[in-house]
Amino acid sequence: MKKIIVTGGSGFIGSNLVNFLIKKNYYVINLDKLTYSANKYKNKLLNNKNYKLIKVDIINKKKITQIINKYKPKVIFNLAAETHVDRSIDGPKNFIHTNINGTFSLLESLRFLQKKKITPKLVHVSTDEVYGDIQEGVRSDENHRYEPSSPYSASKASADHLVKSYIRTYKLNAVISNCCNNYGPYQFPEKLIPKMISNIFNNKELPIYAKGINSREWIHVEDHCSALFKLYLKGTNGESYNVGSGINLRNIDLVKKILKIFNIMKIKIGNKTKIKFVKDRPGHDLRYALNNKKIYRQFKWKPKIKFEKGLRDTIIWYLNNKKFFKGISKKSYEKRLGLKL
């Protein structure tokens, strides 16, 4: 059985990717530090014979090297990252530690193991935020220059550049993916969609930055997983690939769409559940939008899940899995920039 390592496999995208790969009959080794946002709700995976969870910080080069040497995976998906922009503004340190130093540590492990002829492919997972603010009418392709605005996006841009440098200098076998906003089951409720759903369930206000005109592109996490798998199978060494849906929505329109779905499904909405505009966060990019023609042109990949159906199914999943929210400690949260739970 082919072995795959997923770093950050207990996070939102990572846990969905782990499940995706196990269904395809791979043996998956999940390397995760198990921070506040780790998905402890998928405990059923722990009993799966094709799954191994190892608690480890990606910055621990010695242990990471030992693990790769032991399992000799065909590919490593690097999803170990701090991802929430607000938290990066409050305190960038953890983002530098994991996103930059952690990626450096992983790259050094792979460079060392090259000498032992252990050369797994690296799929380094990044974000559309590295491109910065994108003007209306434009969609950033893979040649668009990097202009990160937040400590989070700057840390991811730095990691991308490190990967590119190791590809060129040390002939590392790696590809980079830059994906738009994900949504779907098991997402930690500090992110927009699950936060709105959680607040509706609990009859709370729906906080939106500024006037809600910031536009984001949305893709279902299952589609993202299928794209990452395609890059493992067919991605060209040294190349970057945008993974997007072409579906952009302003934040205010997205929240209204969520409320509309609740109404259509005849789910009661409390009298305190109203949209509330809060003070904008510093350096807030207005619009992200990806040109994903490259991945379609080369591999015929495109997302399959229609946004309206995916959003409705996501709401239904949270409706049927309210324990997911209850299982998250309030201590996991910090009051920040107008966001309160």
pTM of the model: 0.93
List, for residues 304-340, the tens digit of each pLDDT value. Answer: 999 999 999 999 999 999 888 776 645 444 444 334 3
As a whole-number percent, the residues of the chain with pLDDT over 70 amount to: 93
Mean pLDDT of the chain: 92
Confidence (pLDDT) at 338: 39
Upper half-sphere CA count for residue 99 (Cβ side, 13 Å)? 26
HSE (side-chain half, CA atoms, 13 Å) at 316: 8
Radius of gyration of the chain (CA): 19
Q: What are 120-163's pLDDT values in tens digits?
A: 999 999 999 999 999 999 999 999 999 999 999 999 999 999 99
Q: Please report the domains of the chain, with CATH numbers, ordered by start residue.
A: 3-186+218-246+286-305 (3.40.50.720)
Q: Which residues pair with 124 in a beta bridge?
A: 78, 176
**Could you give the 3-state DSSP secondary structure of residue 39?**
coil
Comparing 35-39, 85-89, 236-240, 298-302, which segment has the lowest mean pLDDT? 35-39
| DSSP-based three-state secondary structure for 241 | strand
pLDDT of residue 83: 81
- On the question of pLDDT at 41 being above 60, the answer is no
- Mean pLDDT of all residues in 287-312: 98
Catalytic residue numbers?
128-129, 152
Q: In which band, very low, low, confident or very high, does the pLDDT at 100 lie, cut at 50, 70 and 90?
A: very high
- Are the beta carbons of 253 and 57 closer than 8 angstroms? no
Q: Distance (Å, rounded) from C-alpha 215 to C-alpha 249?
A: 5
Q: What angle do CA 179, 251, 285 make, to 5 degrees?
A: 60
Helix (H, G, I), strand (E, B) or coil at 133: coil
What is residue 98's DSSP assignment?
A: I
- Strands in 215-220's sheet, in edge-to-edge order, are 181-183, 215-220, 248-250
Does 44 score more than 80 pLDDT? no
How many CB atoms within 10 Å of residue 18?
31
252-262 pLDDT, tens per residue? 999 999 999 99
